[in-house]
Amino acid sequence: MKIFRLGLLPKIIIAIVLGIGCSWFFPEFIIRIFVTINGIFGNFLGFAIPLIILGLVAPGIAELGKGAGKLLGITVLIAYGSTLFAGFFSYFTCRWSFPLILTKDHAFTDVEALAAKAIGPYFTVDMPPVMGVTSSLLMAFVLGLGLSAVKGDTFRNVLAEFRELVTVLISKAIIPFLPLYIFGIFLKIGAEGQVGAVLGLFIKVIVVIFIMHVLLLIFQFLAAGLITKKNPFKCLVTMLPAYMTALGTQSSAATIPVTLAQTKKNGVDSEIADFVIPLCATVHLSGSILKITACAFAIVWMMDMPGGLDVFSGFICMLGITMVAAPGVPGGAIMAALGLLASMLGFDETLQGLMIALYITMDSFGTACNVTGDGAIALVINKIYKR
């Protein structure tokens, strides 16, 4: 008999509902137990983040140097450019729209009131990371770029096995614990009287992100149609089976067969499609970066934190690199982003938890946007190849 298993998104939604509901009647001593558990898990995340960045980014960059020469470089450059465009499109759209639709609530910004209602843990366990986020990024770049330029498989295999270890860490230790972590965060938020502001933020941000995803896909295929002289809307409709498959699987990697088939139906040569689609499943993350940027800016704006272009431009550029190879891991994109959220935007444990909840709520749509946009890049690369 087949056992029914809930996916991560339903678990997160249930955790949010239960956390808010239980905050109405749980006594403070029980709430403090969950706050203590969250504090320990948050410290473990802080310890694991540099390892996650090193384990995902270094082998991902190293593998980009294999066998495709100039066409590889062009594909990666276009994919990264598309990712950056999505990030900055998200930032400027949110900077214009959020002040119009979001109302700042004192539950977010009244520091004295928050301090008076704050529920602390019984104890904490320090877990200092082996290196800082910046150091792990630099090491990942040095190792990845170095291995892409030199021959030899010994250290490459070490990094590949380390990536497998990090994948197991995320999929077996971190992701299964996330519903309890989210439950604890919303239990604390509810007990401290911030739940109304948080839910209002969630609903409005999700609607804006969905609209931006649609506009981004239309722009990507309009650009591809202009370059290739093909009907952009016909090409976009052809890619819809890949979009719908990604909604169900929540995985760029699992959607590759469908993305390949639909890309070839758009007239892309088989050898180009077979090269571009698996590569873009790793390096083209326009939907994911759009979503993370929007969620981060919403929290920054509500918290009255610095959110100027000088802050977010560096964050977006680094995020486009740190998420390389993350789509192969469930929840990998937001896990890879946590270090940057903390080091560049100043997000603490609670704000990182809100980011995880917001991200996973829209996870399917971000993945669907990623893989559908891969079809537009394949059209452009096919035109370049023929020239």
Say how many domains are in the chain.
1
Looking at residue 42, what is its pLDDT? 78
- Give tens-digit pLDDT for 274-283: 777 877 877 7
Looking at residue 327, what is its pLDDT? 52
Residue 192 pLDDT > 60: yes
For the chain, the straight-line distance linking the first and the last C-alpha, in angstroms and rounded, comes to 55
Task: Please give the mean pLDDT across all residues of the chain.
Answer: 79
Residue 52 pLDDT > 70: yes
**2 in any annotated domain:** no
CA–CA distance, 336 with 58 (Å, rounded to integer): 12
Mean pLDDT for the stretch of residues 3-18: 74
**286 in any annotated domain:** yes
pTM of the full predicted structure?
0.72
- Give tens-digit pLDDT for 308-335: 888 899 899 888 887 765 555 556 677 7
**97 in any annotated domain:** yes
**1 in any annotated domain:** no
Residue 193, sorted as left (phi over 0), alpha (psi -120 to 50) or beta, turns out to be left
**303 in any annotated domain:** yes
**301 in any annotated domain:** yes
Q: What is the CATH number of the domain that holds 224?
A: 1.10.3860
CA–CA distance, 335 with 332 (Å, rounded to integer): 5
**24 in any annotated domain:** yes
Mean pLDDT for the stretch of residues 158-186: 82
Of 382, 212, 236, 383, which Cα lies nearest the Cα of 295? 212
Taking a C-beta distance cutoff of 8 angstroms, is the pair 190, 19 a contact?
yes
Structural domain containing residue 188: 8-386
Which residues, 6+ apart, have CB-to-CB distance to 113 below 8 Å? Answer: 106, 107
**3 in any annotated domain:** no
| pLDDT confidence bin for 24, thresholds 50/70/90 | confident
Which residues, 6+ apart, have CB-to-CB distance to 65 below 8 Å? Answer: 72, 147, 148, 149
Looking at residue 329, what is its pLDDT? 54
